[in-house]
Amino acid sequence: MIDVIIAGAGPNGLMLACELALAGARPLVLERLTEPSGEQRANGLVGQVVRMLDRRGLYERLTAPGATPEPAPGFVFGAFPLDLKDLPDNPLYTLMVPQRRVEQMLAERAAELGVEVRRGHEVTGLTQGEDSVTVELRGRESMEAAFLVGADGGHSTVRRLTGIGFPGVTADDSVSRTGHVSVPSEMVGADGGLVVPDFGVIPPFRHLRTERGLITWAPFPAGAPLISTTEWDQPAEGEASLDELRVSACRVLGADLPLHPPTGAGPHMMRRLFGGNTRIASQYRAGRVFLLGDAAHVHSAIGGPGLNLGLQDAVNLGWKLAAELRGRAPEGLLDTYELERSPVARRVAMHTQAQSQLMRPGADVTALRELFGELLAQPATRQHVANLLSGADITYDMGSATGPLVGRWAPDLPGLRELTRTGRPLLLDPTGTLDAGVWASHVDTVTVPDLDTALLLRPDCYVAWQGTTNDGLHEALGVWFRAA
Ligand SMILES: Cc1cc2nc3c(=O)[nH]c(=O)nc-3n(C[C@H](O)[C@H](O)[C@H](O)COP(=O)(O)OP(=O)(O)OC[C@H]3O[C@@H](n4cnc5c(N)ncnc54)[C@H](O)[C@@H]3O)c2cc1C
């Protein structure tokens, strides 16, 4: 029998496939589409996921051999520039890379790990038994697996088939228009900003709010630049067009912005989106079926938090599901997936909704922004927001283990990025005296002389225990791993 069927070969399904295979499970990915869609979604990765990919050796596959992530000197929050240069601990890492490149890289990695992706396989039904799930496919024989994971996007069929609710809100009073364009070269300033006569400068890569709406100018180093506008209470119909985008930009700016069709190789985009959903699945699990990524949560794409959330859902679920399949999961381990990840999704829903409100036009929002701007001038507030956006503020419940690092994502330590590539639990021992006892075969014990505390890391790099003697170590191991 197949260990895990993953419905959906989007980024999150592929990441889960890699994590499962790394942990010794045999997943099969079923994808409805016969070819990758080519749809343009994420332009980049934002937050801790950039470092998590590095800890699996995947960052350099998206950049250059030997490259390591660097924190971003600045970012945006609710159309405020967020200066991060003076933060003592800047956790916000970014990587500009199109989503299709991330998917391609993960598909290659999954293939290396022996995972099969079957395209043209659409999940249409499921029946749960005591030890397995039978998955119905459109026009094909059904299949059986020990577990099914719905990584099939915001309109998830798997979620619907399980009857899991998707409560939340739909905002339908905004319209966003986005398109690849070209502009007269003399309008682009030395710093990449777009200089608009009778308006001023639209800085690159950040939302600019006016009293009439939002505009974003994104001059990517390769390919055509993107212009995006968001307006409220401005109905639109028919095909999205460059003319419409230009008229919208003029309304937002109160000045004319000459936009021309993009030049150079495509694919080029012209898109109009109405409103948006913020919804979180009422459960992440129904028996032998789990939800992952957009199937479990949808929210505004503002600030690009989607893949930080979804890819780390996959890193959280992968080792737990593999442990269950190998008889190495203690009671309740699988339930910690929802317990840990659902609150993280709620934080993302919270800050994307807050940002969306902060960007609306109107005098009351302007007043709110004045106050918010004063708060953001304080480094402590910027640190708080950076921690929130990156996910560096996540602390999981690790039972009775205590210590400042317990429950937190392990800090960067010399050599750690090499040690974590295998996805194995790690006991980092500065003394060389700790004893994992009956868990010795579950965990790689490594002597790291420069540490001032020993650390037990789960495969997702969260600290499950810290200490200087064996005290509490076996108890912590027992929380996460069933003794051999
Ligand atoms: C305009 C836009 C911009 C965005 N920008 C960013 C950004 O800058 N940064 C960021 O991190 N995130 C961004 N996001 C969010 C990000 O794109 C999503 O979070 C991400 O695609 C979710 O991945 P997924 O694997 O969960 O789902 P999806 O990418 O939706 O993949 C689901 C897959 O399941 C397949 N499928 C569906 N139904 C079935 C079925 N019944 N059987 C089999 N297969 C099925 C689909 O064909 C698809 O391939 C953006 C989103 C949008 C819309």
Q: How far is the CA of 449 from the centre of ligand 1 (A)?
A: 43
Q: How far is the CA of 98 from the centre of ligand 1 (A)?
A: 12
- Ligand 1: atom nearest CA of 298 is 19
Helix (H) or strand (E) holding 404: none
Take atom 16 of ligand 1 and give the residue whose Cα is closest.
306
Predicted pLDDT of residue 237: 82
* Chain length of the chain: 484
Look at residue 264 and tell me whether its pLDDT is greater than 90: no
pLDDT class of 269 with cuts at 50, 70, 90: confident
Ligand 1 pocket by Cβ (under 6 Å): 7-13, 30-33, 41-45, 99, 122-123, 151-153, 157, 293-294, 301, 304, 306-308, 310
Take atom 18 of ligand 1 and give the residue whose Cα is closest.
306
What residue has token string 């490149």?
Answer: 101
Q: How far is the CA of 342 from the centre of ligand 1 (A)?
A: 18
Torsion angle, CA of 469/470/472/475, rounded to 10 degrees? 160
Look at residue 266 and tell me whether its pLDDT is greater than 80: no
Full-model pTM:
0.95
By most ligand atoms within 8 Å of CB, the mutation choice from 28, 29, 41 for ligand 1 is 41
Strand pairing of 2-7 and 74-77?
unpaired
Q: How far is the CA of 452 from the centre of ligand 1 (A)?
A: 42
Torsion angle, CA of 185/189/194/199, rounded to 10 degrees? -110
Q: How far is the CA of 351 from the centre of ligand 1 (A)?
A: 20
Q: What's the pLDDT tens digit per position in 35-65? A: 998 788 888 999 999 999 999 999 999 999 9
d(CA 51, CA 312): 11
Look at residue 400 and tell me whether its pLDDT is greater than 90: yes
| Peptide linkage before 267 cis (omega within 30 of 0) | yes
Q: What's the pLDDT tens digit per position in 337-368? A: 999 999 999 999 999 999 999 999 999 999 99
Q: How far is the CA of 12 from the centre of ligand 1 (A)?
A: 8
Q: Which residues make Cβ contacts (< 8 Å) with residue 374, sequence separation at least 6?
A: none
Burial class (CB in 10 A: 0-12, 13-18, 19+), 118: middle
Q: What's the pLDDT tens digit per position in 422-454? A: 999 999 999 999 999 999 999 999 999 889 999
d(CA 92, CA 114): 33
Are 227 and 181 in contact by the 8 Å Cβ rule? The answer is yes
Take atom 5 of ligand 1 and give the residue whose Cα is closest.
42
Q: Where are the beta strands (DSSP E) in 32-93?
A: 44-46, 74-77, 80-83
- pLDDT averaged over every residue in the chain: 95
Q: What's the pLDDT tens digit per position in 65-113? A: 999 999 999 999 999 999 999 999 999 999 999 999 999 999 999 999 9
Predicted pLDDT of residue 391: 98
Q: Which residues make Cβ contacts (< 8 Å) with residue 422, sequence separation at least 6?
A: 22, 444
